[in-house]
Each structure stands twice: as structure tokens, then as C-alpha cells.
Structure 1
Amino acid sequence: MSKGIAGKNNWALFLLLLAGIVLGGFIGSLAAGVPFLSWLNYGQTFGFANPIVLDLGILVITFGLSIKITIASIIGVLIAIIIYRFL
């Protein structure tokens, strides 16, 4: 008996999406030097340009976030979703 999408593990989806983003970003950065594959590294970076520093005297905490979304990472996410649907 099939459980369908509602019965699947959400952690598995999260880990597959994370793996798709990481592997897609890695493939995009590798393809940046190849002329006919350089379009895979095309994307947008957003986040904090300068990290936010919280100085509490004896403790210094630095907050920073930067996200780069590329064509390859989007393809990686789509492949992860397809894999999840067939599990």
C-alpha cells in the first residue's frame, strides 16, 4: 500500500533539497571556467554585504548571511524533488 506524499518523511525532503542546492552550487562553480557551461553559474547573490557584529564586552558575536542562487542550484533542487517523489 502506498502512503503517498502525505506519509513521506519531511526530513528526507529537507536533506535532499539541501544536497541538491550544495551539489548544484558546486557544479555551477566548476562549470564557470568552461565556456559552453558558464551559464550554469549565472545567478544572484543576496544577504548582508557587511556582517553585523554584536560586542558584549567579553563576548563578540558576528552575524552574517549570504545566499547565492544559480541556475545549477535550481536544477539541483528540481532533481532532488523528482528523486523525492519517486522514493
Structure 2
Amino acid sequence: MSTSLEIWDIIKPTPKIIAAIKENYNRLIERQNKAADFLDTVQEQDLYVLEIRLEILEPMAKYIYVLKKWNVVVSDQEIRDGFK
């Protein structure tokens, strides 16, 4: 039986790496908010929903997942509003 290691198992979660992940997450939140402002109609939202999911929401979820794997406490407010 083989065990495959994931990147978060290999990389040591230094404060600098954690800060970079939080900064990238904040950029994605900003991008998500801009996308939501841009999409005025339901038809536009339907058209771009896949792109938004693949380019914004999935990476955001992955960043939160990695932080939690590293035992970084992440609040619901930080997930919703970003990191300070």
C-alpha cells in the first residue's frame, strides 16, 4: 500500500508562506466581488458561473483547506471577508 503525499504534507507552513496564502486568498475575494458586480443579470451569471467557479471559488476553497490542514485557525468571517 502506497501513501501519496500532498504539497501541504511536504512544505513546512512558515509564517511567510501562510501570509502569502492569505494574501492570495484576499486577491481572489476581491476578484470574486468584482465579478459579482460585473454580472448584472441572471443570464450573465449563468454564462460565467463555470469560469468563476474554476478560476476563483475552487482556488479559494483550496487555500482554506491547506490552512486548516496546517492547523491554522480560520474563522467564518475570514472565509467570507478575507484576512486582515
TM-score range, shorter chain: 0.3 to 0.5
- Which structure has the greater CA radius of gyration? 1
TM-score w.r.t. the length of structure 1 is 0.38
TM-score, normalised to structure 2's length? Answer: 0.39
Q: Which has the higher strand share?
A: 1
Question: Highest relative contact order (Cα 8 Å, sep 6+), 1 or 2?
Answer: 2
Give the number of the structure whose residues are more often helix, by fraction. 2
